[in-house]
Amino acid sequence: MAKLVHFANWVARIPAIFAALLVGAMMLLVASDVVLKYLFNAPVPMTLELVAAYFMPAICFLPLGNVTRTEAHLEVELFTQGMAGRPLAAIKLFGCVFGIVYGIYMLDPAIAQAIKMTGRGEYWEAATVHLPVWPARWFFPLGIGLMILWLALLAVSHVFVVLTGRSPIAREMSKQGDTKHSAGINHD
């Protein structure tokens, strides 16, 4: 289990790091476009197209695995804020299973659409250029796939907590200095 968690950590981190770099690149591109447009009347060509086709989908979807890995999704804890241990793990297990089912429901058509658009060589017509956008179609399936992977690992962890009171994932995550996990090392 430790090797799988270690591998899944790195697999989820790489797209998230790439997305973080794209945030910086997008800021520089948009700022340059605005400055050049208003000071020199010479905007950066295809800024809007690049932001819409590549930057925004990558920033939104590529970090999903890492966000799930660190349990950084928004949670409404109105009824669970005072819970811990096995009862909390049981509720979180339900959430993981629901997320896996819903993720698979979204993943199938996303992969089919990405394959279809890749085969067609989907592109957008800009003023003077055909911008290929089919590679960005793969950001969503990649992000959802990594999210499903981490939901499955967390579900296994929650099953262990419900049955034994201990989490194999929390132990591995604490070794790596990652954020807390709701299924901590010892709950009882």
Read off the pLDDT of residues 54-112 as tens digits, 9 standing for 90 and up.
999 999 999 999 999 998 888 888 888 888 889 999 999 999 999 999 999 999 999 99
The pLDDT assigned to 175 comes to 60
pLDDT tens-digit profile of 32-59?
999 999 999 999 999 999 999 999 999 9
Gap between the Cα atoms of 116 and 23, Å rounded? 28
| Contacting residues for 47 by C-beta, under 8 A, at least 6 apart | 29, 30, 33
Torsion over CA: 80, 145, 106, 161 (sign): negative
**Buried (b) or exposed (e) across 58-97, using 16+ Cβ within 10 A?**
bbebbbbbbbbbbbeeeeeeeeeeeeeebebbeebbebbe
pLDDT tens-digit profile of 118-168?
999 999 998 788 999 999 999 999 999 999 999 999 999 999 999 998 888
Q: Which of 178, 160, 179, 180 is nearest to 168 (CA)?
A: 160
CB 130 within 8 A of CB 99: no
The pLDDT assigned to 187 comes to 41
Beta-carbon-side half-sphere exposure of residue 120 (alpha carbons within 13 Å): 12
Q: Provide the β-strand partners of residue 186.
A: 166
The pLDDT assigned to 26 comes to 97
The model's pTM is 0.85
Amino acid identity, position 60: C
The pLDDT assigned to 58 comes to 97
